[in-house]
Amino acid sequence: MRKEVIPFERVAHAIHLLRGQKVMLDSDLGYLYGVTTGNLNKAVRRNVDRFPEDFVFQLTAEETQDLIFQSGISKGRGGRRHRPYAFTEQGIAMLSSVLNSVRAVKVNIAIMRAFVRLRRMLDTNRELAEKFVELERRVGKHDEEIVAILEAIRQLTAPPENPRREIGFHVREKVPRYRARTRA
């Protein structure tokens, strides 16, 4: 069994969903790579041609506030003075070419494995969700059929309704039992 440089849980906890993409913040990447956030961002700025907007983007003020509330990233004195950068999976892969160290290569491999593992977990969850929806649809259909069967049984077993008693005066003439013969 291989010894991982960083545990999967640490990497998975650092992955956020922003703008519909799974990203990692520059501060988390700096921690994992063992460099300061400032040095990581300097390396990216020196190689800006390797990082198009779909590889790395700077968070808006609103997104930064959301992250502060959700995950408790630092704010105020001693914290960040600039909005963080978010790196997509491709941007993280490109970081390995910018940061030339043995640790950077090992960390990058661990991060890529974490992304692949998360993708597999999402696919498994998606399959389970589809099966669950199919099961709900079947059960719903069975429920409708059971209700129809129960209604038919009720109609068959229900006693016939007694005729309602009429209100008011009604003349009831009795029909004679025997017909009288007339002599002609």
Does residue 152 lie within any of the structural domains? no
Does residue 23 lie within any of the structural domains? yes
What CATH number does the domain containing 90 carry?
A: 3.10.260
Cβ atoms within 10 A of the Cβ of 84, count? 19
pLDDT tens per residue across span 65-75:
877 777 665 55
Count up the domains in the chain and report the number: 1
Least trusted range by pLDDT, from 49-63, 108-122, 154-168: 154-168
Does residue 175 lie within any of the structural domains? no
56 CB-near residues (< 8 Å, 6+ apart): 44, 85, 86, 87, 88, 91
Q: What's the average model confidence in pLDDT over 14-33?
A: 84
pLDDT tens per residue across span 76-88:
555 667 888 898 8
Does residue 67 lie within any of the structural domains? yes
**Which tokens sit at 127?**
């399959």
Q: The whole model's pTM is what?
A: 0.57
Distance CA 61, CA 160 (A): 74
Q: Please determine, for residue 135, whether its predicted confidence score (pLDDT) is greater than 70.
A: yes
Range of the domain at 50: 8-125
Task: Specify the pLDDT at position 1.
Answer: 44
Does residue 163 lie within any of the structural domains? no
Higher pLDDT, 27 or 184: 27
Does residue 105 lie within any of the structural domains? yes
Mean pLDDT of all residues belonging to the chain: 78
Higher pLDDT, 149 or 2: 149
Residue 107, classed as helix, strand or coil, is helix
Distance CA 58, CA 85 (A): 4
